[in-house]
Amino acid sequence: MSRPIQAIINHSALTHNLTIVRQYAPDARILAVLKADAYGHGLLNTANALKNVDGFALLELDAAISLRTTGYQQPILLLEGFFSTNELALFEQYQLSSVIHHTEQVAMLSKYKQHRMGVFIKVNTGMNRLGFSPKQLPQIIEELINNQHIKDITLMTHFASADDPSEKASVSRQLQCFETITKKYNYPCSLSNSAAIINYPETHGNWVRPGIMLYGASPFSDKTAADLNLQPVMTLSSKIIAIHDLKVGDKVGYHGLFEAEYPMRIGIAACGYADGYPRHAPTDTPVLINNQRSRLLGRVSMDMLAIDLTGIKNAKPGDSVVLWGEGIPVDEIAKYAGTSSYELLCGLAARVDRKFLKSF
């Protein structure tokens, strides 16, 4: 019998969330971000649920090839581009587009004469991660214009703080920088991640790049996914595999970090940090038992965690436990654990079985 933990992926929620993106950015084309195995949701099944999107964006070349060989004809953009001239033949063969963010890539393109490639030129407007400086941009555009193997050009940047309501000035500075240095070029542009799609409609441009909102999590600390009319796509669930009755003073788990102050009943669920649940999630992190809200107790182990069953009527081994998703937003678990929903979703272990459903 297989271990009972599983991640249920709701395709209907994915298509719903794509509709919400379109409502926020009705005039822009959408590049659905599928990096990191579609944020842990499974690349090809996620792509299937989003098959009507305008294009896909990801980092991994093998994943891009998998999308193309599966039959997707939309533009596919590699967000870090190519890393060697050897990869350019694959970009040509599978008709992939590339982000260009450093001069070495421009030099590689000048040496490769067969391919007509679409490129997104990334401009560093203040995040200082990837991209050409504003001073470099005119020369880079000139070089690419003169390269007859460049099919089309899009200009792009990335906002460092669009998810922070107190950082509106930062977004404005980056937007002003981008507009100032690109206004003389008549190229399409791509600026907005999930947070900017929602909060900064003036940044939508021609292509938006939703990531976390597609998967039903909020990019903001002050707004829930429900506030944004987003539906959870992944529900991580397991089952109770053991039950214990505690006396006053009994301790739970490694180092006895939780001590019973009154007689209690606890359940052990088949889920731990080796499954991707955060080891640093503290006592009181919420869980659902048979659709009743309860809490985590003590330290999360590699394969198991302890749950308070004291107030749960008729709890027994085999009962369902929801760790995050439907009824327990992943954003809430992330807040208790001092991390982000991005990390939790992307960190789901390969050993967790994923079940793909069109509806719950």
From the list 35, 239, 273, 342, the catalytic residue is: 35
Task: For 205-243, give the DSSP string.
Answer: -SEE---GGGGT--S-SSS-TTTTT----EEEEEEEEEE
- Which amino acid, 113? K
Burial class of residue 206 in the structure, from the number of CB atoms within 10 Å of its CB (0-12 exposed, 13-18 middle, 19+ buried): middle
Report which of 266, 262, 270, 302 is spatially closest to residue 283, judged by C-alpha positions.
266
Q: Is 129 annotated as a binding residue?
A: yes
DSSP 132: B
Amino acid at 240: I
The answer to whether 35 is a known catalytic residue is yes
Two structure tokens written together for 163: 């998810």
Active site residue 254: yes
- Torsions phi, psi of 23, nearest 5? -65, -40
Rounded CA gap, 279 and 72, in Å? 38
| Percentages (nearest 5) of helix, strand, coil residues in the chain | 30, 25, 45
- Ramachandran class of 344: left when φ > 0, alpha when ψ lies in -120 to 50, beta otherwise: alpha
User: What DSSP character marks residue 281?
Assistant: P
Catalytic residue among 113, 151, 254, 355: 254
Distance between CA atoms of residues 345 and 341, nearest Å: 6
Rounded to whole angstroms, how far apart are CA atoms 282 and 288? 16
Which parts are annotated binding residues? 129, 302
Catalytic residues: 35, 254
Which parts are annotated binding residues for substrate? 129, 302
